[in-house]
Amino acid sequence: MLTKFESKSARVKGLAFHPVRPWICASLHNGVIQLWDYRVGTVIDRFEEHDGPVRGVDFHLHEPLIVTGGDDYKIKVWDYKLRRCLFTLLGHLDYIRTVQFHPNATQFPWILSASDDQTLRLWDFQKRSCLSVLTGHNHYVMCAAFHPSEDLIVSASLDQTVRVWDTTGLRKKQLGGPVGAEGGYPGMTDINGNRGTSAAAATALNVQAELFGTNDVVVKYVLEGHDRGVNWAAFHPTLPLLASAADDRQVKLWRMSETKAWEVDTLRGHANNVSCCLFHPKQELVVSNSEDRSIRVWDVSKRVGVQTFRREGDRFWILAAHR
């Protein structure tokens, strides 16, 4: 271990690397969000507005923005240059587990959130509105993530499933694709009689999305194989692979094709619930951490454990990899 950052109160629940600068953003169980410079190991800023633990955090790829999600049911977007919260997104009805900016957030100003209210939500952070409510899980949604390059989302839930969602419809709709007659929805006209989506129509659609969900995002696969709740799921950066981590102490690998997804293998070795897993950005490795107080590194092709990290008295909840 290169360096270890101590912070007085509390456990770190969310982690994100800045894409360019030597920064880590850590969201804590005591409600504080800390910005660390990892070269010198110091806190360079802190943000406090959430009421209770903050579990999700992410950096925008290009703009000076941070998004956070907390146990106060709030998603907050912060400007770290202005050093303040810009706005709050409301809609979730329970703890928020993860938040993420879209990988191509300049073209798609989207935030993805996962919540204990059993839904995922997609938000437009420029319009500050909810785009879509993704329903289908029947227990807490512990994690949700965008695919780095395709129109896909993965989610993991305590209902023992991993779901892969297809966002092609939403992307086409956002880019003014042929959803209705001329973009917008069919039969919707604005005040001047122009077809398309007016402010009033957009509000009506927002209400509709709130009540019934939308069909802009559809479930592509439901992956069943874990026999306890699933805490985490992650896409491989380039290959059609998924990794998932669960309370059955296992890390599973899954492969996807255009039409189906299937379990490839199970990585066994953890002695307690596995809380998080990710693919190494450059090497064929999976890293996982568990309530057995260990971090394990696995070889994806050989499907065996290659290294275990433990520190006396330390527990680990969350992992992040620099892209």
Q: 283: which 2 tokens? A: 């090497």
| Alpha-carbon gap, residue 94 to 112, rounded angstroms | 15
- pLDDT given at position 9: 59
Q: How many C-beta atoms lie closer than 10 Å to residue 308's C-beta?
A: 12
Instruction: Check residue 313 and give its pLDDT.
Output: 87
pLDDT means over runs of 10, the chain (323 residues) = 56 95 96 96 96 96 97 97 97 97 94 97 96 96 97 97 96 70 34 48 62 76 97 97 97 96 96 97 96 96 94 90 88
* The pLDDT of residue 58: 98
CA–CA distance, 29 with 138 (Å, rounded to integer): 25
pLDDT at residue 182, as a whole number: 31
Q: Residue 200: its pLDDT value, please?
A: 66
User: What is d(CA 186, CA 132) in angstroms, rounded to the nearest whole number?
Assistant: 18
Write down the pLDDT at residue 206.
63
Q: How far apart are CA 38 and CA 25, in angstroms?
A: 10
pLDDT at site 309? 95
Give the model's pLDDT for residue 174: 83
